[in-house]
Structure 1
Amino acid sequence: MSTRTLYLFASAAPPVFDVARVIEDAQADGWDVCLGLTPTAARWLAESLDGLAVLTGHPVRSEYKLPGQPDAWPPADAILLAPATFNTVNAWALGITDKFVVGVVAEGIGKGIPTVTMPCVNAAYVQHPQFDRSIETLRSAGVTVLYGEGGFVPNQPGQGNPTTYPWRASLDAVLALGRGSS
């Protein structure tokens, strides 16, 4: 059995600081993990990037490659974007692909790559009318969005606890999608 490749993408929200454990959990699930970060998430994890590259066996990416450069990663069998911030969710749904992570997941829809996302937003952000539209847009495009019961439930601003972010639910959803696409 060959190893399947998971693109694990993350935005700058507090649960990103637990990404090494999530990589290890995904690897234990049988995935070859490639880590991509938004530029802010990469800045937050700057001191850990070399170690994360060693852990995954692939360079950590936060920027598009230059034209003509070979791709440093194998093709994705599945994508998990978590935590997905308010900005990332809305940019993705609106097709604003100036960030590497958002560009890959936007293209992933067209390529039919099984994709899961789990937001990490507070209750104030979700009151903005665009957020619900963005969630619906992504779901209608075939993205599994773990938001609400069984996924991420927003809390009041400043009241979040990153240790309760439901990472396992996101990895289980990716496993379920991966089984369905085999």
Structure 2
Amino acid sequence: MSGVLYLVVCAAGPAPGVVTLVRDAVGRGWDVCTIATPAAEGGGFVDVAAVEGASGRVVRHRYRRADEAVAVAPMTVNTLTKWADGHADTYALGVLTEALGLRLPIAALPFWNAAQAAHPAVDRAVATLRSCGVQVLYGEPHFVPHLPGTGGTRIPAHPWHLVLDALAGHATEG
């Protein structure tokens, strides 16, 4: 794999043939994420179905789609508290703060120990995110913090399914 290639396609004469570039990039090991300008997508310059078929990914032409949801798993105390305070100093936090502002369905599955959970910022941050509509899966019957030094024994049984269960009502057919 060569890596991820973000391909931005503009509404110019050759744009209808961009699927050739996508196929070649995929053939060379790139994971192609195509972003079409609104004019390229809406003006018929890009054969969206062909590009999506060649790349295996949705062609984007706006920031977020109405049928999107966000999962944060596993979520650390650091991410929790920074997100609740509105920090966007990493790409991940930028996505989370934007998703919150766009009111996308969001479920967050924590992983931290009881000593970290005792810090007053944790409950405050959980309350802030919940008040914004985030499903923070913290406390019974979801994630319960472990004793310091015992987290490794809990990793194999981490309840990953909870985050998907929380978002199940937001899934759309398409």
Matched, 1:175 2:151: no
User: In the alignment, is the contact (CA less than 8 A) between 2:107 and 2:136 conserved in 1?
Assistant: yes
User: For the residues of structure 2 that align with 1:176 and 1:99, how far apart are their CA atoms?
Assistant: 29
Read off the aligned partner of 1:162 and give its amino acid letter. Answer: I
Read off the aligned partner of 2:84 and give its amino acid letter. Answer: A
User: For the residues of structure 1 that align with 2:162 and 2:108, how far apart are their CA atoms?
Assistant: 11
Alignment of 1:118-129 (within 5 A): 118-129=109-120
User: For the residues of structure 2 that align with 1:151 and 1:176, how far apart are their CA atoms?
Assistant: 17
Matched, 1:103 2:94: yes
Alignment of 1:1-150 (within 5 A): 74=60, 75=64, 77-150=68-141
- TM-score, normalisation: structure 2: 0.59
User: In the alignment, is the contact (CA less than 8 A) between 1:114 and 1:178 conserved in 2?
Assistant: no
Deviations 1:124-155 (A, max 9, x none): 00111100000000000110110011221100
User: For the residues of structure 2 that align with 1:73 and 1:89, how far apart are their CA atoms?
Assistant: 30
User: In the alignment, is the contact (CA less than 8 A) between 1:58 and 1:73 conserved in 2?
Assistant: no
User: For the residues of structure 1 that align with 2:162 and 2:87, how far apart are their CA atoms?
Assistant: 27
SS at match of 2:122: helix
User: In the alignment, is the contact (CA less than 8 A) between 1:86 and 1:131 conserved in 2?
Assistant: yes
Residues paired across the two proteins, number: 114
Matched, 1:166 2:159: yes
Read off the aligned partner of 2:167 and give its amino acid letter. Answer: V
Percent pairwise identity: 40
Runs of 4+ in 1 over 2 A off after TM superposition: 72-76, 176-179
Provide structure 2 residue ranges, at least 5 long, that are not aligned to the other structure. 1-28, 34-57
Q: 1:173 to 1:163 in 2, by over 3 A?
A: same
Provide structure 1 residue ranges, at least 5 long, that are not aligned to the other structure. 1-53, 60-71
Which one has a bigger Cα radius of gyration? 2
User: For the residues of structure 2 that align with 1:153 and 1:73, how far apart are their CA atoms?
Assistant: 39
Higher relative contact order, structure no. (Cα contacts within 8 Å, ≥ 6 residues apart)? 1
User: For the residues of structure 2 that align with 1:133 and 1:58, how far apart are their CA atoms?
Assistant: 40
Query: What is the alpha-carbon root mean square deviation over aligned residues?
Result: 2.4
Deviations 1:47-85 (A, max 9, x none): xxxxxxx9xx667xxxxxxxxxxxx97435100001000
User: In the alignment, is the contact (CA less than 8 A) between 2:109 and 2:162 conserved in 1?
Assistant: no
User: For the residues of structure 1 that align with 2:109 and 2:85, how far apart are their CA atoms?
Assistant: 17
Read off the aligned partner of 2:97 and give its amino acid letter. Answer: A
SS at match of 1:121: coil
